[in-house]
Structure 1
Amino acid sequence: MTRRLHIMPEAAPELAAGLREQGAELVGADEQPEGVIVTGMFKKLNLTEVLEANPQVRWVQLPSAGIELYSEILQRFPDLTWTSAKGAYAKPVGEHALALTLAALRGLKTRALATSWGTEGGISLNGLRCVVVGGGGVAAEIVRLYKAFDTHVTVVRRTSEPVEHADVTVAFEGLDQALQGAHVVALAAAATPTTRHLLNAERLALLADGAVVANVGRGSLVDQAALAQALSSGALRGAGLDVTEPEPLPETDPLWGLENCLITPHTADTTEMVVPLLRERILANHRRFSAGEPMLGLVDPAQGY
């Protein structure tokens, strides 16, 4: 069955060709679309207006894994089928989380800034006790990569449903116990009111002396003032952050001045990496939409992810 789809802001040639091969008809916002596919950033688009003018729309595909920017519109149109890119970018983001972890453990920012030979330093990831916070595709990929280093990995997620390769999986109620004495914490959870500053001063104090933190989830997951204090005092060996609060992080923020804090500008998944992965997700979901099958990356408007 032909499905009428509207793409915002426009379809790249490869995506348009793929959808047409699947039998889709690409139409304008005023041509009664059944589905809306967002490939651009939300703040530049008039998605609310399009949905208000098209009550026949049944499916909306969002371009990102984190969807906190869409929370208001999700609440306005809770009966639509919303899908996101969660899990689609797991491999590059998981890879980046591993890179940030190793950089923090090995003190690579200090060595990158060095102008002389210096002294030895750093520790190995092998044999360490790790905690991964989050239950989606990125968290699962981080677990898979960490396990290649003979680590013990505990996953903390919304439910205690086991995550493949993890040694232990617990619900969020078990976070404090999981963090006690942990050497590595990787954050890959969604930004919700309940996850804001989940890694605060009290929980940072639970970690082993010289632990490291890697955040590829959202900046709001970490109390950055508490993190800066723990890094400055030496309680933490290091941190690697691909996400901060706010973004961009102001040049005056104290985290920039710490040699044991490596910050990358939300580039765990660059445009070059994302475009083919998002195209793959959109095509898979269009096939499922047309066939009436369960879709990938389903969003729960009530939960916000």
Structure 2
Amino acid sequence: MLPEAGPIAIVPEADAAFVDAATAAGGRIEPLSEETRGLIWTSSSEADRLERILAEHPAISWVQLPWAGVDAFADLLARHRDDGRVWTSAKGAYAQPVAEHALALALGVLREFPRRVRATRWEVDERGRSLYGADVVIVGAGGIAVELLRLLAPFRVRTTVVRRADAAVPGANRTVTTDRLADVLGTAEVVFVVAALTQQTRGVIGAAEFAALPGGAVLVNVARGGLVDTDALVAALDEGRLGGAGLDVTDPEPLPTGHPLWNAPNCLLTPHVADTEAMTVPLFARRIAVNVGAFVGGTAFEGRIDLGAGY
């Protein structure tokens, strides 16, 4: 069912880049009112406020959320799954910078950068590994995974994508369903976590998965911290079973001062900056333009949220 077109409101913050993109795509941008039919939500949180707006403006038929991950809005989406609205996210829009960051983390950990940058004297050793020809597992099959496969191609890696759906991912050597995750971890040298966080995927990498990995394997997580069991991760690093970890996201987040991960062996941490504001604003503006065009033209939306799956 197509949403009813009409005036579009951009709230809470109507960045000029977003207004320009929506207007150029044929949208009529107006303050929130009884006439509003489309809503572009620009806050990464404030789900309660968004819920109040939807209750006060039941005629809104399309809602655009600002990020690829919508776990912050999970309860709200569940409550509105049958109200007939179309919901879209930015999934896939930020794939390039996030995949680039994931690759940087992997290379940094493989080359022992966490230890090297802390060194205060010249230490000559033979530690460090190459990504070329490695056995790589990618957990998740969205835009980040697709872009990551392109970035990994020059390294001639062997790639396995693990996903919910039983369907191949172009560019991967093989694709398996989530129930076979443990089977493919046994030979993995690098594991990238790029899946959506849902009730089903929370803790998808835990003690059993770390035990299934060969010694020295590297984990990279650029999706959501809750996908990985933090206690199990710390234990795997401390015991030396895991060769290292590159994390742009953690659970909890922000990671508290003094948390064991800050001093874990060969752990490279960045503070959820795989896609900075300078990167995301033009990319989100592009997604707004596409979906405003779909809204006013009655065509297909990009990043449409599957309310049943929760992402």
1:25 matched residue in structure 2: 28
Written as runs of structure 1 = structure 2, the 5 A alignment for 1:125-204 is 125-204=131-210
| Deviations, residues 251-296 of structure 1 (Å, cap 9, x unaligned) | 1211111241111100000111100000000110111111111110
| 2:221 corresponds to | 215
CA distance in 1, matches of 2:275, 2:111: 23
1:88-110: CA deviation from partner (whole Å, max 9, x where unpaired): 00000000000111111111011
TM-score (norm 2): 0.94
8 Å Cα contact 1:127/1:149 also seen in 2 = yes
- The letter for the 1-side match of 2:107 is L
Q: 1:18 to 1:48 in 2, by over 3 A?
A: same
- Separation in 2 of the partners of 1:59 and 1:141? 28
The answer to whether residue 59 in structure 2 is matched with residue 53 in structure 1 is no
**1:23, 1:254 → 2: CA distance?**
51
Equivalent-residue separation in structure 2 for 1:12 and 1:108 (angstroms): 38
Q: Is the 8 A contact 2:5 2:295 kept in 1?
A: no
Q: 1:119 to 1:82 in 2, by over 3 A?
A: same
Unaligned runs of at least 5 residues, structure 1? none
Q: Which ranges of structure 2 fall in alignment gaps of 5 or more residues? A: none
Closer/same/farther in 2, CA of residues 133 and 235 from structure 1, 3 Å limit: same
Name the CA distance, whole Å, in 2 between partners of 1:292 and 1:262: 46
User: Could you say which residue in structure 2 is the equivalent of 1:106?
Assistant: 111
**2:121 corresponds to which of 109, 116, 121:** 116
Cα offset, 1:148, TM superposition: 1.8
Q: CA 1:119 to 1:160, structure 2 compared with 1: closer, same or farther past 3 Å?
A: farther
2: distance between equivalents of 1:14 and 1:127? 42
Q: Check whether the contact 2:17–2:281 (CA below 8 A) recurs between aligned residues.
A: no
Structure with more relative contact order (C-alpha pairs < 8 Å, separation 6 or more): 2
RMSD: 1.5
The CA deviation at 1:47 is 1.1
Q: Offset of 1:77 from its aligned partner?
A: 1.9
Match of 1:232 among 224, 232, 238: 238
TM-score, L = length of structure 1: 0.96
Q: Which residue in 1 is equivalent to 2:42?
A: 39
Displacement of 1:44 in angstroms is 7.7
Q: CA deviation at 1:216?
A: 0.6
Deviation of 1:48 (Å): 1.0
How far residue 50 of structure 1 moved from its aligned partner, in angstroms, is 1.2
The equivalent residue for 2:92 is 87
Pair 1:294 & 2:300 matched: yes
Q: 1:257 aligns with which of 248, 253, 263?
A: 263
Query: How many Å separate the matches in 1 of 2:101 and 2:191?
Result: 14
How far the C-alpha of 1:76 sits from its partner, in A, is: 2.3
- C-alpha displacement of 1:14: 2.5
Stretches of 4+ moved more than 6 A in 1? none
- Return the alpha-carbon distance in structure 2 between the equivalents of residues 146 and 176 of structure 1: 22
Q: Deviations over 1:52-88 (max 9, x none)?
A: 1111111000001110111121122222100000000
Paired position in structure 2 for 1:69 = 72
Number of positions where the alignment pairs a residue of Structure 1 with one of Structure 2: 305
Report Cα offsets for 1:128-155 as digits up to 9, x if no partner: 1000000100111122222220100000
Does structure 2 retain, via aligned residues, the 8 Å contact 1:37–1:62?
Answer: yes
Contact 2:21/2:288 (CA < 8 Å) preserved in 1? no
Secondary structure at 1:130's aligned position in 2?
Answer: strand
CA shift, 1:235, in A, is 1.1
Q: Distance in 1 between matches of 2:21 and 2:165?
A: 37
CA contact (8 A) 2:219 2:245 kept: yes
